[in-house]
Amino acid sequence: MSAARFLLMNRATTRAFQLLDRVAGEDTIGIAVANPGVCKTFALKAWRLRHKQVRHCAIEADVLTSARPLLNCLVRALAIRGKTQSNMATSKASICAALARSPMMVMIDEADLLTVRTFDVLRSIWDQVSEMRDTDGESGFPLALFGTPHLRAMLMREDLERLRRRVSETVELPPMNQREVELALGGKWPHLKVDEEGLAELTELSRGSFGWLNKIVPIAEKLANKDGRVLTARIVRETAKYLLGL
């Protein structure tokens, strides 16, 4: 089994797919929360590949993704013509009109990096589209926000209550359990030998994060090559001193 095939089958990706299916089908707002390295970005990309017929705008947020860059992304994705990007109010009005005519899936990865103002702009667009479609606030356009647990903490702010009330569903993407770690090792490092205690230690040290597993295993493998070529719990623990934050 390849690593990509494993990631498509694990619990985190399955739950992310289920959320995205519902958001896309019902034109609602959904939120997925997971620790770093737990396949959020992979799940979004894989879902888009499986649903090429779905019109979408995929945004990977960073600390510079304020309201204006967000509006500009939507203007481009909706193929809105004219000088809308020079005026935020005009951009927003054009975006709302286009989404009301034909809702488009909007997916934002690393959404916990957005500012409160940007969240409120998103909420106001969704509200206006819902009003233009006369859905009584039950649907607007599909909006999926993926982020770390900080995203959930942010949405609990008093000044984001209006957005919070419009969220139809929130899911938590689980870290890998020991069986999933074992499958991941077989998919990406098929020739690696690891004993049972080493597997348990890998699961604990990586916190079930595929991202951390990618960092830990190459180091552990080099250490194992000097000591019996089998990953033991002792060898896995030794890798922690080479990694920041573990």
Instruction: Show the domains of the chain with their CATH numbers.
Output: 3-172 (3.40.50.300), 178-242 (1.10.8)
In angstroms, the CA 244 to CA 246 distance is: 6
In angstroms, the CA 191 to CA 25 distance is: 42
Q: Give me the sign of the Cα torsion angle 68, 114, 15, 171.
A: negative
Where does the pLDDT of residue 144 fall: very low under 50, low under 70, confident under 90, or very high at 90 and above? Answer: very high
pLDDT score for 85? 55
Q: What is the mean pLDDT of the chain?
A: 91
pLDDT in tens, 164-191: 999 999 999 999 999 999 989 988 898 8
pLDDT score for 246? 66
Q: Please give the order of strands across the beta sheet that includes 105-109.
A: 56-60, 105-109, 143-147, 29-33, 167-172
Instruction: Please state the rounded mean pLDDT for residues 125-153.
Output: 96
Q: Which residue in 146, 116, 132 sits closest to 23, CA to CA? A: 146
- Overall pTM surpassing 0.85 (yes/no): yes
pLDDT in tens, 105-133: 999 999 999 999 999 999 999 999 999 99
Instruction: Please state the rounded mean pLDDT for residues 32-37.
Output: 93
Angle at 155 between CA 40 and CA 28, to 5 degrees: 65
